[in-house]
Amino acid sequence: MTAVDIPGGDGVGIRAYHSPVKSGQEQVIIVLPLATTPSLIKETVTSLMRHYTVFTWESRLILTPEVDLPGPTALSIESHVRDVDAVVNYFGIARASLIGYCSGASAALHIAASNSGRFQKLALVSGAYFIPPRECELTQYERDVHALMPQVAVDHDRASYVFERFASWNATFKRRPHEFDAEFDRPYGHVDSFYRYGVSIANFIHSDWKRIAREVTIPTLVTCGRLDDRTHYASSMLVASRVAGSELYIDEAGDHYEFCRAKPFLIEKVTAFLSLS
């Protein structure tokens, strides 16, 4: 994909990406998980490029610790949502479908609720929706996020303390390597990125997901994997029950990373849904 630096509405620079633009080709915008880059989904982009021109961008400010936060709302959900307007306007995208993956699914839900007129369809893949534990069965990873990230978001000093504890823990205990460790671990490499990541996630945790889901009015596909140990499939089922007229697909043998691997049946399911008139 080609990288382009574009201005956001509040002056924050956005690193956007696009595949080769082909005349007459449908357009898809992918909302990446917070604090990741398109290298996470390179196989998926290659697969989708057969059908679509693909656009995406990196979540604001999290992976650029050298850039100062311009204000207290710089990491708000509203700021993240407005960045898609900057992408759409810069590239002159008249009509597109939206795909959100992992925490990008939560952001995509907010985007679709705010900008339904700009998007024709929505696909939510293995979503991390930050639903409270009292409302839904969660994985251990999700419970840890709910417990930890609001603490990280308190202030930079608290984030620094937790960051140091993480570094000490990682030096002592070796976890089993995973093929996507380098992609998902990016915010844990710098204390400022860690703090900004925590603030962004805490904002999603504290948002009214039920209201947002009810405000989505475009055709929506919700997909998840039964074997996902990162985001529990129960949360996808709950979101699908709140989005009017949505379609739910559960991959009985799927885990959290099938989208990154461009699992053929999953990609076919998503493209078939997006291509239906």
pLDDT 10s digits, 188-235: 999 999 999 999 999 999 999 999 999 999 999 999 999 999 999 999
Distance of CA 208 to the CA centre of its chain: 17
Q: Which residues pair with 5 in a beta bridge?
A: 15
Strand order in the sheet with 247-251: 2-7, 13-18, 52-57, 26-31, 96-101, 119-125, 220-225, 247-251
Mean pLDDT, range 12-26, rounded to an integer: 91
Query: pTM to 2 decimals?
Result: 0.95
Which of 40-49, 143-152, 175-184 has the least mean pLDDT?
Answer: 175-184
Q: What is the pLDDT of residue 174?
A: 58
pLDDT digit string, tens, across residues 124-144: 999 999 999 999 999 999 999
3-state secondary structure of 46: helix
Nearest to 243 by CA among 68, 103, 121: 121
Question: Would you state the pLDDT for residue 132?
Answer: 95
Q: What is the pLDDT of residue 172?
A: 53
Distance, CA of 119 to CA of 97 (rounded, Å): 5
Burial track 118-156 (b if 16+ CB lie within 10 A, e otherwise): bbbbbbbbbbbbbbeeeebebbeebeebbeebbebbeeb
66-76 pLDDT tens trace: 999 998 899 99
The pLDDT, as a whole number, for residue 10 is 87
Asked if pLDDT for residue 92 goes beyond 60, the answer is yes
Which fold does the domain 2-130+208-275 belong to in CATH?
A: Rossmann fold (3.40.50)
pLDDT for position 175? 63
**What distance in Å separates the CA atoms of residue 238 and residue 257, rounded to the nearest whole number?**
20
- What's the mean per-residue pLDDT of the chain? 93
Find the mean pLDDT for residues 150-171: 87
pLDDT at 116 over 80: no
Give pLDDT, residue 94: 86
